[in-house]
Amino acid sequence: MTDPVSDLAKTLGYRFADLNIMQQALTHRSAGGRNNERLEFLGDAILGSVIAAELYERYPQAREGELSRLRSSLVRREALAGLAQELEIGRYLKLGAGERKSGGHHRDSILADALEALFGAIYLDGGFDSCRDCILSLFGTMLEQVPEPDKLKDPKTRLQEYLQSRQLALPEYAVLDVSGDAHAQSFTVSCTANAAEVMVTEGTARNRRHAEQNAAEKMLGLLYAG
């Protein structure tokens, strides 16, 4: 085993019996030949099941929807890419010339896929228990710091539940402005809530849904401040 790959194996906390499968997990399709796409598919499924089982044990009172949001927060692309960056997986990736020139070693999608491919490779090389132990070790801090289930609800849902719990009318959203070219539009949306008084907030984003979420988040800030 070469020193660089040996370093990565130590960081992962797993010693591969078959080094070829580890190298395959680190090979992007742009490099040609045997690549990590199938391993990424396998690793994605295993990661989801391991994290789901762990959350099921940690949060015995959480409902299905809450568990789903918790799992999504942990296995989303940004979270996986962040973990891959901490492991410096980009240093070990085998990419085609085009991907190397365009900064593929730092691209979130490539890093996240490579990490999942490594999980798939560990599963094939050492079995499910070895793969689960590696995943739980790497995700240990993230699992400890994951927010409570109800904190993961989107702002519109939290605002609706806040108002309903106080038997108040549901918020109303309206598009105030749409600007920019078709491929780069900006939406400004208002959120109106009738609590102790009528309050209006505005949110701006690249699409209407995100603009509504921004406006709802601001409304929650006003309501909690009051």
Question: What are the catalytic residues?
Answer: 44, 116
Report CA Rg, the chain.
22
Q: State the pTM of this model.
A: 0.69
What are the DSSP calls for 60-86, one per residue? TT--HHHHHHHHHHHHSHHHHHHHHHH
Question: Which fold is adopted by the domain 3-147?
Answer: Ribonuclease iii, N-terminal Endonuclease Domain; Chain A (1.10.1520)
- pLDDT tens for residues 77-90? 989 999 999 999 99
Q: How far apart are CA 25 and CA 5, in angstroms?
A: 12
Asked whether 149 and 67 are in contact (CB, 8 A), the reply is yes
In terms of phi and psi (left: phi > 0; alpha: psi -120 to 50; beta: otherwise), the region of 60 is alpha
| Encoded tokens for 218 | 């601001």
Q: Is 174 helix (H, G, I), strand (E, B) or coil?
A: strand
Asked whether 191 and 173 are in contact (CB, 8 A), the reply is yes
Question: Which fold is adopted by the domain 155-225?
Answer: Double Stranded RNA Binding Domain (3.30.160)
Q: Where are the domains of the chain?
A: 3-147, 155-225
Q: How far apart are CA 194 and CA 34, in angstroms?
A: 60
Please identify which residue in the block is written with the tokens 């609706």: 160
- pLDDT tens for residues 20-69? 999 999 999 999 889 999 999 999 999 999 999 999 999 998 888 888 88
